[in-house]
Amino acid sequence: NAELTNESKFPTYLPVRNHIIELIIKRKHEELYHAGIAHTLCELRQNFWITTERSTVKRVINGCFTCRRWRTNPYKLPPMLALPIWAQLLQR
């Protein structure tokens, strides 16, 4: 059997909607170099037991400015306008 620490055997209970929870999640998310929801959640579960953990982690990670900046799509180019009739006649 694997040797587990007391923190893993008896995780710390953290209640819902607490500012400290958000700070812990942000710190772990940044320590993991802005990992996704599943990886951050897996690492948090080793030491903490958070009620409604997936939705809390998702909310905090979706608010991460660095991740939001990397997730954005580049701006789209404007649609090309139709050629005027005189330009179409020159091509023929």
Query: How do the domains of the chain map onto residue ranges?
Result: 6-73
Evaluate whether 88 touches 82 at the Cβ level (below 8 Å): no
- The C-alpha torsion from 15 through 23 and 20 to 61, rounded to 10°, is -30
Query: 59 is written with which tokens?
Result: 């909310």
Q: How large a percentage of the chain has pLDDT more than 90? A: 53
* pLDDT surpasses 90 at 82: no
* Stated pTM of the model: 0.74
Split at pLDDT 50, 70, 90, the class of 1 is low
Q: Please state the separation of Cα 50 from the chain's center in Å.
A: 18
Evaluate whether 51 touches 16 at the Cβ level (below 8 Å): yes
Q: How large a percentage of the chain has pLDDT more than 70? A: 97
